[in-house]
Amino acid sequence: MKRILFSLVFFSVLIALWEGAFRAKIWSPVLLPAPIQVVQYLENAVTDGTLFHATVITMRRLLVGYFIGILGGLPLGFLTARAKIFHDTIGTLALGLQTLPSVCWVPLALLWFGQSEAAMLFVVVMGTLWSVVIATDTGVRNVPPIYRRAALTMGSKRLHMWFKVILPAALPFIVSGMKQGWAFAWRSLMAAEIFVTILTGFGLGQLLHYGRELSAMDQVIGIMFVIVVIGLLADKIFFSPIERFLHRRWGTSQA
Amino acid sequence: MLRHKTGSVTEELAVISPSKLLIQNVSKSFRGTAGDVLALDRVSLSVAEGEFVCLVGVSGCGKSTLLNIIAGLEKPDSGTVLADGEPVTGPGRERLVMFQESALFPWLDVLDNVLFGLKLKPNLTRKDRYDVAKYYLELVGLTRFEHANIHELSGGMKQRVALARALAPNPRVLLMDEPFAALDALTREQLYGDLQQIWKARRKTIVFVTHNVREAACLGDRVLLFSPHPGRIQEEFAVDLPRPRDINSVDLAGYASRITRALKNFSGSELAVAE
């Protein structure tokens, strides 16, 4: 209760400072709109449906690409962890490409796929895939051999071993890789949407971009706010519960 | 078979058929930094059905290697292991291992750990498996903790869960690799009592590896002494004491000191050479 109160006070003070800065007219109102203007923009964007529409388009790109990245990354990570030949080839490739900021995929994606959904998808997949490959590889390598041995004597083998022993044992690593992949994918998708107009759908990044074109600062700040909220929600709704579960089960300290 | 109607759990629990083990001329060497090490040198040994055999020796004498070979987790360079006349070619649930560290799965709670092996056993219904797991949790005295997380348990409780997990699929052989070595003395003494009781209730052939002579004398029908470099069985003691045995009894101390003397006789000189 006390914590919620402190948060509320903190954010109220922040908005009050903003309002104060606006009233003091330190900057031109074009550069710094009042908080209420941003709220009004968001209200309009909600009622005329643009915000909802853009969010749906962005989230669809993100989620589809993200799940393709995970579905591809998990088996690849298993392979690189299990066989030297895959480790030396795909593993090295993953390590190299993971250091590449995923926004660097945008020019290539545009040339290959044109200004299309496929280009967006490609960028998101590249952002997710390599993080998941590397995290899965590390996770599988860190599974204590004694778990495998114990499971072997109880009659576990092949698929059962992978799904019931190695995957859950590597889960703490895999989840942190998924979280990193999510962050990379989210950032690179925003960058791609800001750079490139895709005619099949206007996402949040495009709204941000047009806000700048029109010098509509209320729109720019409003959309930034929405992007922040989506990031927070993903963390609170999806990742936090999983991490809390893992901490409780494994007995590791709460990060 | 009047009790037939009480369900397959009773049947499942009624099956008690310990194995006969025959180990013939088993050799195994490992590639070490200082050349090959002969961990086992033509070791032969037979274990009767339902017998409790302890393998004792200093660390690195190959006793754990022998246990792993019996389990099927490692292959011998030469020689054979027969369980009830059938050669052992790989791991299987007829011969379950209890390790020094508990090797319990931290992603499962206590009950699900005990259920792990049961779920891999065919011809049991969901309820059977559940009932069998509960039975063994009660046997090791942990019914209250069935939904606890593994990290919440003490070392002794973890080994109790590991014992329940190893017993649950009803193996014919139980292989125990220094299961109590990491526990404090008080907890250990309690577990000696419990293990003897459980062994009486669920007759198994047990091969128990330890470097603790008293422990071996307390638990084993026979105690086999291993010598290191190369690993060989040097001497054998039959412990002829009534059960349940108390680790602090005078008779047991007598056996223990005889075994210790024998152990010192050959490993003392061997150790000096090795160092």
pLDDT (tens digit per residue) in B156-191 = 999 999 999 999 999 999 999 999 998 998 999 999
- Which residue in chain A has the smallest CA separation from B115? A154
Cβ–Cβ gap B99/A150 under 8 Å: yes
Q: Find the domain containing A89 and state its range.
A: 50-249
Burial letters for B9-27: b for 16+ Cβ neighbours within 10 Å, e otherwise?
A: beebbeeeebbbbbbeebb
Q: Is any Cβ of chain B less than 8 angstroms from the Cβ of A249? A: yes
* Phi, psi of B54, rounded to the nearest 5 degrees: -110, 135
**pLDDT digits 0-9 by tens, B28-49:** 998 877 778 888 999 999 999 9
User: Residue A151: which CATH number?
Assistant: 1.10.3720.10
**pLDDT digits 0-9 by tens, B14-27:** 788 888 899 999 99
For chain A, 255 residues long, the average pLDDT of each consecutive 10-residue run is 91 94 89 93 93 94 96 95 92 91 89 91 94 95 94 92 95 94 92 84 91 92 94 91 90 65
- Is A28 within the bounds of a domain? no
What count of Cα atoms within 13 Å lies in the side-chain half-sphere of residue A243?
A: 16
- Is A213 within the bounds of a domain? yes
- Is A12 within the bounds of a domain? no
A50-82 helix and A204-213 helix, angle to the nearest 10 degrees: 130
Number of domains into which chain A is organized: 1
Q: Is B268 a residue whose pLDDT tops 50?
A: yes
- Is A29 within the bounds of a domain? no
- Which residue in chain B has the smallest CA separation from A167? B107
- Which residue in chain B has the smallest CA separation from A251? B151
ipTM score of complex? 0.87
Q: Is any Cβ of chain B less than 8 angstroms from the Cβ of A248? A: yes
Say if CB A92 and CB A142 are below 8 A apart: no
Task: Give the residues across from B32 on adjacent strands.
Answer: B35
**pLDDT digits 0-9 by tens, B117-133:** 999 998 889 999 999 99
* Lowest pLDDT segment from A116-120, B9-13, B260-264: B9-13
- Is A4 within the bounds of a domain? no
- Is A214 within the bounds of a domain? yes
Instruction: Of A94, A204, A193, A190, give the one whose Cα is nearest residue A138.
Output: A94
Cβ–Cβ gap A146/B101 under 8 Å: yes
Give the pLDDT score at A254.
Answer: 52
User: Among partner residues A149, A164, A169, which is closest to B73 by beta-carbon distance?
Assistant: A149
Q: Please give the Cα distance from A126 to A97 (Å, whole number).
A: 9
Give the pLDDT score at B77.
Answer: 94
The tokens for A135 are 């995290």
Q: What is the pTM of this model?
A: 0.84
Q: Is B272 a residue whose pLDDT tops 50?
A: no
Q: Please give the Cα distance from B139 to B133 (Å, whole number).
A: 10
**pLDDT digits 0-9 by tens, B71-111:** 999 999 999 999 998 999 999 889 999 998 879 999 999 99
- Is A59 within the bounds of a domain? yes
- Is A198 within the bounds of a domain? yes
